[in-house]
Amino acid sequence: MSLRIGDEAPNFQVQTTQGQIDFHQWIGNGYAVLFSHPKDFTPVCTTELGYMARIKPEFDKRNTKIIGLSVDPVDDHQRWAKDIEETQGTAPNYPIIGDAELKISKLYDMLAAEAQPGKRTAADNQTVRTVFLIGPDKKIKLILYYPITTGRNFDEVLRVLDSIQLTAKYKVATPAN
C-alpha cells in the first residue's frame, strides 16, 4: 500500500548520526522534512546534503526539522559528513538515518518490497530519492519523487512549506511560484 498526502507518517525507531530516535517523538510539535538518498558518497547526494546544511536556518525559522536517510550504515554517514564538508563547505547539521536493512525505505515505499540489503543494483536504488514533508499532526503534507539522475530543489520544499503553514491558518490557496 503506498503512502499518500494526508496519511499518517509511519513511525519508527532508528539509529541516526545523532543517536537513536523515535520519529514521531523527534518531530514533536513542529514540521519535519525526511529526505532520502540512494547511496553514501555519491556526487548528487553530496551536493544535496551540503545544501540542506547551508539552508537549515530557513527550516529552523519555520519550526521544521530536517532528517536525511541513506541506505548505508551510520558509520558510513559519519565518514561521508567529512567529505560533504570538504566538498560543499558545510557538514550535515541534522541527523542522517542509517537504513542498511532497508526497513525505513520499504516502510515509506521508497523501494520495492523485494529489494534486498546488499543485493541492490543501480536500478534498484532509483526510487530512494524522495522527500516527505510531515506536519505536527504527523500527517504527510507533501511527497516528491525524483529520478536518480536529478538533484532536488530544496527551495521549492521551502516554498511548499510556507504555503502549507499559511493555509493551515487561513482558508486560502497559494499561486504558482
Q: Which residues are catalytic?
A: 45
- Show Cβ contacts of residue 162 under 8 Å, excluding neighbours closer than 6 positions: 62, 174
Q: Which helix (DSSP H) or strand (DSSP E) does residue 27 occupy?
A: helix 23-27
Task: Please report how many Cα atoms fall inside a 13 Å half-sphere around the Cα of residue 167, on the Cβ side.
Answer: 12
For residues 155 and 64, give the distance between their C-alpha atoms in angstroms, rounded to a whole number.
14
DSSP code of residue 7 = S
Which cell goes with 48?
A: 544535496
User: Pairing between strand 130-134 and 96-98?
Assistant: unpaired
- Dihedral of alpha carbons 134, 135, 138, 142, sign: negative
Yes or no: say if 151 and 47 are a contact pair by the CB < 8 Å rule.
yes
For residues 177 and 172, give the distance between their C-alpha atoms in angstroms, rounded to a whole number.
15
